[in-house]
Amino acid sequence: MSRILTVNNHGFATFAVLPRTHKRANLNGRILSMKERKTKEGEIETQGSASLSVVSACFILAIAVLSAGAFYLYQVNDLATKGYEMKAAESRIADLEKQNKDMEIKGVELRSMYNIEKSTQDLNLVNTQNVSYVEMNSPVAMK
């Protein structure tokens, strides 16, 4: 006896038991046939085969190709977007490094002796003439 499991277009399964002489029934191009036979030890050995129609195989192949194509487009788009983001970040880093160098140069210029003397004249400050230091005999500082 052969057992045949068929699946129709709506996903419903039917099961049929056919005599051994009947090889295979084809319903809508999709069948799963199983054959049983007894071995010498008394166990039941099952053999089966499944077949798909050409339309189903083409449909599965088309879905696989479309999925691979969509994944490829997503990866290429993602890579291009990240490339533009990296380029913008590198440009921003270069601008900030230039600003940092300019500010360091400006800080050195403002701390130069020339600028300090010029700002003392602008603020009407007077240079000291006589400097006197207080000397103490004690190693401890006084209040």
Task: Specify whether 95 is located in the same domain as 45.
Answer: no
DSSP 137: S
Could you give phi then psi for residue 18, rounded to 5 degrees?
Answer: -115, 155
Collapsing DSSP states into helix, strand and coil, what is residue 16?
A: strand
- Residue 107 domain flag: yes
Query: Alpha helix locations (H) across the chain?
Result: 54-110, 113-122
Task: Specify whether 63 is located in the same domain as 40.
Answer: no
pLDDT at 109 over 60: yes
- Residue 140 domain flag: no
- Residue 132 domain flag: no
Collapsing DSSP states into helix, strand and coil, what is residue 9?
A: coil
Task: Specify whether 88 is located in the same domain as 40.
Answer: no
Number of domains in the chain: 2
Amino acid at 20: R
DSSP 13: E
Distance CA 66, CA 7 (A): 26
Task: Specify whether 43 is located in the same domain as 80.
Answer: no
Collapsing DSSP states into helix, strand and coil, what is residue 5?
A: strand
- Residue 79 domain flag: yes
Task: Specify whether 63 is located in the same domain as 14.
Answer: no
DSSP 85: H
> What is the average per-residue pLDDT within 79-88?
96
Across 29-33, 44-48, 92-96, the highest mean pLDDT is recorded for 92-96
Quickly state the pLDDT bin for 69 (edges 50, 70, 90).
very high
Domain with 21, as residue range(s), is 2-51
pLDDT of residue 2: 52
pLDDT at 88 over 70: yes
Token pair of 96, please? 């900030």
Beta carbons of 141 and 134 less than 8 angstroms apart: no
Pick from 5-19, 108-122, 125-139: least confident: 5-19
Collapsing DSSP states into helix, strand and coil, what is residue 18?
A: strand
Please give the residue that has the higher pLDDT: either 8 or 138. Answer: 138
Residue in the structure block whose two tokens are 């209040």: 143
